[in-house]
Structure 1
């Protein structure tokens, strides 16, 4: 086994394959980045899920998206998107309006406050991601992105 993933003292079991070591390395790295991003969001008064919704809705534009469309685009799957949107609506970040053409469809759109918040966070988020990954070369970043895409494509099949 390579020295890049040391054995945890509370887990003396030996890894059986490079694939297992790689998977554990991905999981640990993912959790570390997730923890850091969640702490960053908490410092700014919102959750990582809320920020994800703000970015999704900014990309959707003035037409907005329905609850299920938002759920499908979330990075981290969550079962109760309705309650998340309820909290965001109470905070004045989004609004939902029933479609006149199809009363079953209720698109969610950003409010001016929500758009201002997500726009305001662009610079700090870029700086945060650079602090995490800026030590990698552009070539390494492209390779990492490509490798992660290959893994997702294989697992999704």
Structure 2
């Protein structure tokens, strides 16, 4: 089914609009599935993203600015996300030793345990979201999206 049928659009859309609408609609579907899956675990996709960034640091502290730079969704309020993760005891914050104006963030063991608990769950959703594409189609989609960026 094409996007016009899905969204019940009667007018003939220019190709560039079809591309953008398809991207946004598909993004919404995938993000919706991920958020729905994470909701019972009381965590948003943005908070999950922060935890994955911190896990990748392998115990080394990282600043808010560095987290923001690596976020998939650059519109997220990183300070608010980190504060929520501190309340859940998934991360800790401390003043940077070299620059007192900066805050260092580190994932806690509880945060690592939480990620380990839900990693397979999220992996399954990611695989399901791309299962209609074979390996070559997935690689081609990655190439095309990179070209758009």
Question: TM-score when scaled to structure 2?
Answer: 0.90
Deviation at 1:79, TM superposition (A): 5.0
The alignment yields a C-alpha RMSD, in angstroms, of 1.6
In 2, the alpha carbon distance for the partners of 1:137 and 1:68 equals 37
In 2, the alpha carbon distance for the partners of 1:13 and 1:35 equals 27
* Larger relative contact order, structure 1 or 2 (CA cutoff 8 Å, min sep 6): 2
Deviation at 1:28, TM superposition (A): 0.7
What CA deviation, in whole Å up to 9, does each residue of 1:43-93 have, x standing for no partner? 222111110000010112222211111111111123532122111101100
Gaps of 5+ in 2: none
* Alignment match, 1:137: 134
* Alignment match, 1:32: 29
Work out which of the residue numbers 49, 52, 55 in structure 2 matches 1:52. 49
* Alignment match, 2:93: 96
Gaps of 5+ in 1: 153-157
Question: TM-score when scaled to structure 1?
Answer: 0.86
In 2, the alpha carbon distance for the partners of 1:73 and 1:94 equals 17
* Alignment match, 1:147: 144
* Alignment match, 1:112: 109
Higher strand share: 2
* Displaced runs of 4 or more, over 3 A: none
